[in-house]
Amino acid sequence: MTELHRMGVAALAAQLRDRRISSVEAAQHFLARARRHQALATFLAIDEEVTLAQARAQDALIARGAAGPLAGVPVAHKDVFVTRDFPTTAASRMLAGYRSPFDATIVSRLAEAGCVTLGKLACDEFAMGGASENVGVPALGFDAPQPVRNPWNSTRVPGGSSGGSAAAVAARLAPAATGSDTGGSIRQPAGFCGITGIKPTYGRASRYGMIAYASSLDQAGVMGTSAEDCALLLSAMCGPDVLRDATSVDRPAEDYSRALAQPLAGLRIGVPEEFFGEGLAEDVRAALDAALQQYESLGARRVPVQLPHSPLAVPVYYIISPAEASSNLSRFDGVRYGHRAQRYGDLLDMYQKSRAEGFGEEVKRRIMIGTYVLSEGYYDAYYLQAQKVRRLIADDFQQAFTQCDLIAGPVAPTVAPLIGTQSDPVQTYLADIYTLPASLAGLPGLAHPAGFGAQGMPVGLQLVANHFQEGRLLAAAHRFQQATDHHLQQPEGYGA
């Protein structure tokens, strides 16, 4: 039993399928680990009775020979995906205690494939943040909200906003977890925590049941210890959902596992000069250069490319995403949805106090920015111009993909920073410089462990492919991981 958490999704699924272990045993093992390591503040909700009931149902299906491909594999979900059997808060006081009457599409699809839900994972409030410090509700075992801690060094952040998912997978509290990526929220925490994470093409995974932050950017994805594990989960959760999600792409689901055998020989990896210039820490640069050399030794070829408008991604993103957030979060007014203040004078006072009490500081900041850029007289000057530059950024990628098959770069300028050192919002926003361009272009992106930097902290390599080429991304990372062991490293104290 002590070895279960050392297995990835693929190995665990095989053990379950062959009935060498039961779904109940696997669920109990990971639930015990989540309880034992709750000081990381990764889980917001666990319900052992629900989880074990799901596990018993999977054991029955396995015994009948009617189980799905991931039967009995425990997974945990970022708390922005609604779940019928667990509370959903988006890590915000605004939604404390909320119970959804239905499951998000990706939750139900993973359940149909046989996955068992371990619980809900912490994140930045409404997925707004890059450190998982903006958590508005208490984690399991705490009476007050806590920042999520990086298992490689508990004084450092795990990244965000899917920091709870990344930390849980890195500490082997769950074999895999779902995440959402609006501007890098899967790739950056995957890099900071030394795991693998993929954001598919915008529209590839349904957004139905995902609490919206910025609707033209939000995308569901997965995080695991390896590209092989991510391929298994992504195959199960993607596919058209056009009747319930207007942004869902009507394109058949794919089996990404089949693409893993693609060779690296001849693969052209584009390296943008804009991603390796001033501002990139030397320890991160050294780890990435070694990783790219490894790709070359496996047959890939490095190709210089340019993304000339990528430095504008930060201002563009922080105009468009707050604008969409201000619209999406207007529904949380204490009447239609969300927290309602206990004491108020009239209707306007009730609105003001409910939103002031329910939202945290970062959410309020982005709502105010978004409301400003959408207001009369400023829409043309800010929002409209930002959309035009967004098109230029997307065009840069299409030009680059005429010269290469994948684009490689950092996920962040540095390794994971210390908790409490990101008090300046502008500096925090600037740290997203390498992940935002692909998000604005709606492209698939993957981060995988590339080595270690300062203080022994993980460094992640980001790979970006053209639309609907998730298989190529996963295959490249899988080949890299077959030749290296960075993804097999575990933080000290979480191996036993």
Residues marked active site are found at 78, 161, 185
Distance of CA 369 to CAs 373, 381, 407, 472, Å?
6, 14, 32, 38
| CA dihedral over 3, 114, 201, 268, signed as positive or negative | positive
Instruction: Give SS3 for 209.
Output: coil
Q: How far is Cα 375 from Cα 391, in angstroms, rounded to an integer?
A: 22
Q: How far is Cα 33 from Cα 210, in angstroms, rounded to an integer?
A: 27
DSSP-assigned letters across all residues of 265-329:
TT-EEEEEGGGSSTT--HHHHHHHHHHHHHHHHTT-EEEEE--TTGGGHHHHHHHHHHHHHHHHG
Taking the mean position of all CA atoms in its chain, how far away is CA 421? 22
Output the six-digit token pair for 76: 């945990």
Per-residue DSSP letter, 384 = I
Distance of CA 326 to CAs 66, 96, 313, 475, Å?
46, 20, 20, 38
Q: Other C-beta atoms within 10 Å of 331: how many?
A: 11
Inter-residue contact 359 to 365 (CB < 8 Å): no
